[in-house]
C-alpha cells in the first residue's frame, strides 16, 4: 500500500539487516575506520559493541562486501553459547577441514595446518564472531590461543569480535587479561544524533526510488529520534509504521502530531489487558458461635490484631445473616402447616419455638 502511494520500489525500513542500506553515521564511520585499521595491522583482536538494533550486523555485512575475497579468507560465526570444542569445529569447517571425529588436540593441529596452507596461497584468514557476549569463558580463551598461531613471526589469524555492551564488562574480568592485551582497537556504536535522522531516512528512501514524497518536518524528526533513542532498528520500526499510516490517511508531509498518533498506536499494541477473573460462587460459610467466641477471646498479639478483628466481625455478620434466614424459613413453614389444619403431623409448638 505505502509503496503504491509514495511510488517506492521496495521497503526502505525493513527490520532485517541489509548491507545495501548502509548509512555512514558518525559512530558507524568510526567503527569502519577501526575495522580498517585492524585489517591493516593483520593481527590481534578488534572489538565492536553496540546495543541491540544499533547496526552491528549491518556494519559487518558492509565490511564483508568491501573485502577482497581473493586476498582474504573470512570465517563468520554467530555465537550461540558455543562450547570451546564446537567453536573449534566451526573454525575448521571455515577452513574447509573435517573436524567432527577429531579430538581437541588433533583439531587444533588441523586448524594450524589449514591456516598455514591458506597463508602459503597468499591469503590471510579473518575470523569474525558475532554476538560474542554469548561465548562461554572457555571459548573466549580458545580464541586467544588461536590468535597465537604464527608463521615466520607473522600471525596466521586475525579475529573481530562483535557483541552487545555487556561484552566490554566481560573483557574487564581478570581472567581475560591476556586476551584484552591483544585487543588493538575497540569501539562502541552509539545511537545516532538527532541531526542525522533526516539524512538517514532520506538515504534509505532514495535507494527505493523516493521522488520527494513523503517529507518530514523538523518537529516530526525530533519526535522520531526521541522515541527511537537514535537506535536504527527502532527508527526503522517507527518509520515503516509512519509510512503505512500516511498511505492510509493520504499524508504527504508528516508533522509531530502524525508521529504522535503512530507512536500511540504502537504503544497501545504493547499493552495487554488482563482477562477479567470471575470469582467462583462460594457456599455460605458455616461458623459456630463458639468459634466466634474463641476467636474473640484470642490474644490480640498472637493472632495479628486488626486483621483478626475484621475477620471476627465478618464471621459475626455471617452468623447473624444465617440466623435471620433460618427464622424466615421456619416462619413460612409454620404458616404452611397451620393452613394445612395440622394434618401434616408436624408439632406446631416445636416449629414456633425454633422460629422464635
Burial class (CB in 10 A: 0-12, 13-18, 19+), 224: buried
> Is the CATH code 3.30.390.50 the one for domain 26-189?
no
Q: What are phi and psi of 153, to 5 degrees?
A: 85, 0
On whether the CB atoms of residues 18 and 58 are closer than 8 A, the answer is yes
Per-residue pLDDT at 32: 93
**Is 213 within 8 Å of 205 (Cβ atoms)?**
no
Q: Are strands 154-155 and 150-151 parallel, antiparallel or unpaired?
A: antiparallel
User: What pLDDT was estimated at residue 287?
Assistant: 46
Q: What is the C-alpha to C-alpha distance for residues 315 and 311, in angstroms, rounded to an integer?
A: 6
Architecture in CATH for domain 196-269: Orthogonal Bundle (1.10)
Over residues 243-253, the pLDDT tens digits come to 999 999 999 99
Whole-angstrom distance, CA of residue 291 vs CA of residue 153? 91
- The DSSP secondary structure of 131-181, one letter per residue, reads SGGGS-HHHHHHHHHHTT-EETTEESEEEEEEE-THHHHHHTSGGGHHHHT
In whole angstroms, give the CA distance from residue 301 to residue 278: 35
The closest alpha carbon to 158, from 28, 36, 22, 58, belongs to 36
Contact at 8 Å (CB) between 255 and 220?
yes
CB 242 within 8 A of CB 205: no
Integer-rounded Cα radius of gyration of the chain = 37
List, for the chain, all residue ranges whose pLDDT scores fall below the cut of 70: 1-4, 271-313, 315-326, 328-356
Determine if the pTM surpasses 0.95. no
The predicted pLDDT at position 303 comes to 46
What lies within 8 Å, CB to CB, of 41 at 6+ separation is: 158, 184
Which residues, 6 or more positions from 47, have their beta carbon under 8 angstroms from its beta carbon?
Answer: 132, 160, 161, 162, 163, 167, 168, 171, 183, 185, 186, 187
Amino acid at each position: 500500500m505505502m509503496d503504491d502511494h509514495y511510488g517506492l520500489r521496495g521497503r526502505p525500513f525493513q527490520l532485517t539487516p541489509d548491507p545495501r542500506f548502509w548509512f555512514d553515521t558518525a559512530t558507524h564511520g568510526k567503527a569502519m575506520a577501526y575495522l580498517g585499521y585492524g585489517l591493516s595491522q593483520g593481527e590481534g583482536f578488534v572489538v565492536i559493541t553496540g546495543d541491540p538494533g544499533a547496526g552491528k550486523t549491518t556494519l559487518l555485512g558492509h565490511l564483508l562486501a568491501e573485502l577482497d575475497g581473493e586476498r582474504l579468507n573470512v570465517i563468520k560465526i554467530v555465537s550461540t553459547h558455543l562450547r570451546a570444542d564446537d567453536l573449534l569445529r566451526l573454525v575448521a569447517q571455515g577452513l574447509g577441514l573435517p573436524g567432527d571425529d577429531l579430538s581437541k588436540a588433533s583439531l587444533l593441529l588441523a586448524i594450524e595446518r589449514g591456516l598455514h596452507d591458506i597463508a602459503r596461497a597468499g591469503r590471510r584468514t579473518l575470523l569474525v564472531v558475532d554476538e560474542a557476549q554469548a561465548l562461554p569463558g572457555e571459548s573466549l580463551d580458545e580464541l586467544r590461543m588461536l590468535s597465537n598461531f604464527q608463521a615466520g613471526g607473522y600471525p596466521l589469524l586475525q579475529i573481530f569480535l562483535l557483541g552487545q555492551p555487556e561484552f566490554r564488562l566481560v573483557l574487564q574480568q581478570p581472567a581475560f587479561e591476556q586476551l584484552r592485551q591483544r585487543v588493538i582497537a575497540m569501539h562502541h556504536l552509539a545511537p545516532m544524533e538527532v541531526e542525522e535522522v533526516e539524512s538517514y531516512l532520506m538515504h534509505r528512501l532514495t535507494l527505493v526510488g523516493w521522488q520527494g514524497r513523503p517529507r518530514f518536518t523538523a518537529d516530526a524528526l525530533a519526535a522520531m529520534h526521541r522515541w527511537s533513542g537514535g537506535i536504527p532498528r527502532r527508527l526503522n520500526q517507527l518509520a515503516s509504521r509512519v509510512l503505512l499510516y500516511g498511505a492510509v490517511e493520504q499524508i504527504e508531509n508528516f508533522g509531530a502530531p502524525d508521529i504522535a498518533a503512530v507512536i500511540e498506536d504502537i504503544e497501545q499494541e504493547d499493552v495487554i489487558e488482563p482477562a477479567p477473573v470471575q470469582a467462583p460462587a462460594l457456599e455460605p460459610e458455616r461458623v459456630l458461635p463458639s468459634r466466634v467466641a474463641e476467636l474473640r477471646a484470642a490474644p490480640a498479639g498472637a493472632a495479628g490484631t486488626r486483621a483478626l478483628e475484621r475477620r471476627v466481625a465478618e464471621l459475626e455478620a455471617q452468623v447473624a445473616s444465617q440466623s435471620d434466614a433460618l427464622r424466615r424459613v421456619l416462619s413460612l413453614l409454620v404458616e404452611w402447616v397451620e393452613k394445612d389444619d395440622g394434618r401434616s403431623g408436624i408439632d406446631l409448638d416445636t416449629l414456633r419455638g425454633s422460629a422464635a
